[in-house]
Structure formats: structure tokens, C-alpha cells
Chains A and B, each alone.
Chain A
Amino acid sequence: MSHANLLAPPSSIPPPTALSLSQKAPLILSSSPTSSLPWPLSLLFSRESPESWTIHENLLLSSLRTGDDKAARQILDRLTTRFGAANERVVALRGIYEEALATTPAELEKVFQGYEKILREDPTNLAVRKRRVAVLKSLGRPADAITALTVLLEHSPTDLEAWAELGELYAAQGLWSQAIFCLEEVLLVLPNAWSAHAQLATLYYLSTPSSLSTLSLSLRYFCRSIELNDSYLRGYYGLKLASQKLIPLLSDSTSVKRNNNPEEEEAGPPPKLATVKKLEELATSKLAEIVRQYGAGNKGWAGLDEAEVIAARALLDRDGKMER
């Protein structure tokens, strides 16, 4: 398991890590970051630092995840006394707390009404706008969530999180080209994000599974994500799938010739058959190596997600059976 750190938690932490993080709550809550001394002395003897509040924020999120609502309440109270109830971040964090505590759709609806009220007073509070989208999503209204996100992005078109979220929502609805557009916006902000490249490739792969041009685009994006990070399991996994689908298409010469219409030429000529075959071999060997190293418990490979390794192993097994 990767090392858990309250200062910079990874964007998606597995449950055991979240649990171990939230178990630090009593220790942190037992010591106050602000000094209890009277005013001029408190300036001199305070142990408060920007990091201490980052830790509080992350602790709040982990303890909500693990159901430690009491600790979450205490942390939230602390943040509120320090920064005031009207602070944008505190408002958003309180919203997260209320959402986590809401058990029925009616209670969620109430939280949602609260957000609407905040937004009527201050339409620039983007954090609350995002929380509103999250509530809409958990209420099971993806169409409304998409509308809310498009309004948000209309006003803040460089918001990475929102673009990625919108892409996910569109993909869940099967609106591939819109989802692809959103992911491209993510890439424009973060041009070297290998995970975004792989996500975009996945969307191309899923959108039209039998078209030569989209498959070669997908293959290229997977290649790029491997080029950016040459031990990226998901990149190899996708590369193998995409190249496996491409090989029969490319060997079938009629389909190559058929694809001469101008729209599909935009994406460049399709890759050469020999190259794709080589890439497929490369992906297979890399996946096998990753699975082997992970199985052997090698230290440098322990940071991988277990589910992803299992999936890779299953893919290799399936492949082996077909060849036999």
C-alpha cells in the first residue's frame, strides 16, 4: 500500500489508506493548533502553520469516508472558528459534511436547497457550485448535473475538475464525442497528464469500436500515455486491447482502402501493421512483467492498484487460452 500522508493525499485513496488516515484523528484533535494564551503572547507561541489546516481539511474528508462523523464534526467546528462560517472553503466543507450525513433523498434535497440559497447570494462561489453538481449526481439526476456543469464551465472555462467530471458524466450517458471534447479540454490545461491521455484513449476505444480511424487514434493516445510514463499499467492494458482490435482491421486490406474519405484522413494515416504488431508484443511483455513483479512482492511495484493487476492478469490469461 502506498504511504499514507495527510499533507498530500492522493486524489483517489483506497479504503485501507483512508482508514489509516482517519485513525490519526484523535491524535490531531487532542492538540489545538491555535494557542490558548492571551493575544500578544499567542502571536509568539502559536504552532499554527498553513500545513496544519491542510491536515485538518484532509482529515475531515477521510473521517467522513470512514464514518467517523464525530471527529468530522469537531474538525469542522475548528475550521469554522478559525476562518469564520462565511469562508468559501468552510462553506463547501460544511456542505460535504451535511451531504455525508444525509441518509434519505429528502435530506439531500434539503442540502441542495441550502446550496441554491448560497448561490443566490453569492454566484461566484465555485466550490459550492461543484458541490451542487455532486448532489445532483447522487440524487440520480445526471442530466441536471450536466446542465449545471455546463453553466459552471461557461463562466470558468479553465476548471480542470469540472471538465473531467463533465467528461465522465457524458461518457456515462454514452455521449462519446462530447466526452472526448471535455477530455481534450483537460489535456489543454495539463498537456502531460498520462492518465488523461489514457482516459481519452479509452473514450475513443469505447465510442466506435470497429472504426479504423478512432481505433488508431485510441492506439496513439495510449502510446502517448506510455511515452509519458513508461510503467503505466493502464496504458499498456489499453494498448494491448486497441492493438488487438486493430490488427485484423489492418490486415484486411479492403477496410484500409475504404477509409479514404476526407473526414477520417484528418487523424493522419493509420499506423502500419508491423508497428501495431510490435506494440502488441511490447504491451504483452510489459504487462507480464508487471504482473510477475507484483506477484513476487517486489518493493518498487507495490504501489500498483491490486484490482488493476488482477485485471491485467486476467487479460493475459484469456489471451494465452486463445493462442493455445
Chain B
Amino acid sequence: MAQPIVQTIHRDPALFWWILLPITVVMVLTGILRHYAMILLQTAPKKQTLPQIRQQRSLVRGINLRTNARVLPPASFQARKAFMVSAYQEGKFLADPEARGKPRPNPMSDPAAMEGMMGMMKGNMAMMVPQTLIMGWINAFFSGFVIMKLPFPLTPQFKSMLQSGVGTRDLDVRWVSSLSWYFLTLFGLQPVYNFILGSNNSATQSTQQMAANPGAGMMGPEQDPDKLFLSEAENLEVLEYRWVLEGVEDRLVAKFA
């Protein structure tokens, strides 16, 4: 077999107009619709109370002291360190001093945590429902159609990706079925959405999940603030301190000499 036989399938040109184009257009429009639906579904982030702001910013202050300690003269650094460590250990900055030392309440019973979960649920629902509907629609009307031929050759591993819904073993990999075209558009339309909606859109799942919990690392609801304070106090205590102003005058003279 010197030359591989080139498969030719005579397709109706109407396939392009009645299947390929509708699927693509529907997918793009669903993405845009989902973007605006997500904006409508989003609840405004809940406002922090004053003690909560204080708790969070006091922790940030300690972190600032630890990272930028070098700008302080030794005496004022030691004074600040002593104050922060003892205040942290006594839990002076806690928003809720009574809850100190008690085990964390069940997140299910906490209304704030429930709200966050509801937000995630909504996002997932906005993703799942249209996907299920569109997939059902494609399966009902267009299953088994071979709608296009890729202009480049591919290895047989792509067969399952490009020809789902078509049960022919010998078909060349370059032929794409309608259901596969749906999957390709589902995962590959992000640049198109970026072009239409701007870069931080919520048209696809990936960006949506990242937006679901912003800044959860710092002081998310799942972390105990008291533990954070205690560990920060420990960090401050073991900090290796060096004053940046030591010998600065000699450095400057050397720089301009």
C-alpha cells in the first residue's frame, strides 16, 4: 500500500448552513447569555462589620511589620513587636472574643457560609442547565451527521474526540461529527467571548470558578482568626531583624565617590 486511500464522502452543502452554523451561533449566544445571567445572579458581597474590618486589618498590620521591619530603628521595632505579639496572644483584635477557643461551628449552620455556597450553586446551575439542554437538542436533531473535514491530518487518538456519535471504525480521523463540534465549541470559545465581552467575562466555567471565591486564602470563613493571629505572633517572635539604615551613610558616600 504505497498511497493511503483518500476517503471522500459526498456531503450535502446544506449541512454547513443547517448544522455547523446553527450549533456555533447557538453556542456563542448561550455564552453571552450566561455572562449576563451571571451578572444578574451575583449578589453583592456582604458588608463587613467594623470589628471584622479591625480583625482583618490588624492581621495585615502584623504581616506588614514582619515583612518591612527593616525600615524601623531597633528600639521602635522591639516596642512594636512586643505590643503586637502580646495583643495577638491575648486576642485583642478578635471580632468575636467570646468565640475564642471554641471549636468552629458547622459551616452549614452559618448563614454567611451558606450564602457563599449558594453563589457557587447558582454558577454551576447556570452552566449545567443550558449545557444539558443544548446537548439534548443536538442529540435529538443532529446525531450521527458528519459535518466537516479538517484540512490537516491527525493521528487516530483524536477519533474519540472528533467523531463521538458516529459509530464507524474505518472513517478517517479528519471527519468531524456534529456532537464533537459541539464539544469543540464548548471548550474552545473562550477567545471569542474575550473578544465580545471583554477579558473578565463569566461565559465559561473556568473563569466562573475562579471568581467564586476571591481572596479566600487570606482570611476565608473557613479559617479560625485566632489561630491566624497566634501563628503570626510566632512568626514575629522568630523574625530575624536587620536595620536597613545601618551604615547607610557609608553606602551613600561609596555610591557617589
Would you call B47 and A282 a contact (CB within 8 A)? Answer: no
Interface size on A, residues (CB 8 A): 33
- Cβ-based interface call for A158 (8 A): yes
Would you call B50 and A187 a contact (CB within 8 A)? Answer: no
Query: For residues 288 through 320 of chain A, which have their beta carbon under 8 Å from a beta carbon of chain B?
Result: none
Would you call A266 and B75 a contact (CB within 8 A)? Answer: yes
Q: A155-B54, A156-B54, A156-B57 are in contact. Are A189 and B252 (CB under 8 A)?
A: no
Would you call B57 and A188 a contact (CB within 8 A)? Answer: no
Q: B84 to nearest A CB, angstroms?
A: 10
Would you call B72 and A227 a contact (CB within 8 A)? Answer: no
Number of A-B contacts (CB under 8 A): 89
Nearest B residue to A221, CB-CB: B245
- Cβ-based interface call for B60 (8 A): yes
Would you call B252 and A282 a contact (CB within 8 A)? Answer: yes
Partner of B64, one of A189, A220, A226, A268: A189
B interface: dominant SS: helix
Partner of B71, one of A123, A124, A187, A279: A187
Interface band, chain B: 35 or more
- Cβ-based interface call for A217 (8 A): yes
- Cβ-based interface call for A191 (8 A): yes
Nearest A residue to B78, CB-CB: A266
Q: B247 to nearest A CB, angstroms?
A: 8
The answer for the CA separation of A279 and B250 in the assembled complex, in Å, is 9
Nearest A residue to B76, CB-CB: A184
- Cβ-based interface call for A181 (8 A): yes
Partner of B249, one of A184, A188, A266, A275: A275
Nearest A residue to B62, CB-CB: A157
Would you call A271 and B249 a contact (CB within 8 A)? Answer: yes
Contacts of B75 in A (CB 8 A): 263, 266-267
Would you call A189 and B68 a contact (CB within 8 A)? Answer: yes
Partner of A223, one of B54, B64, B72, B249: B249
Q: Could you give 14 example pairs across A and B, Cβ below 8 Å?
A: A123-B50, A124-B47, A124-B48, A155-B50, A157-B58, A158-B57, A181-B76, A187-B68, A188-B71, A223-B249, A223-B251, A230-B255, A266-B73, A279-B253
5 further contact pairs, Cβ within 8 A, besides A124-B47, A219-B249, A278-B257: A156-B57, A157-B58, A191-B68, A217-B245, A223-B252
A residues contacting B by CB (< 8 A) are 123-124, 154-159, 181, 184, 187-189, 191, 217, 219-221, 223-224, 226-227, 230, 263, 266-268, 271, 275-276, 278-279, 282
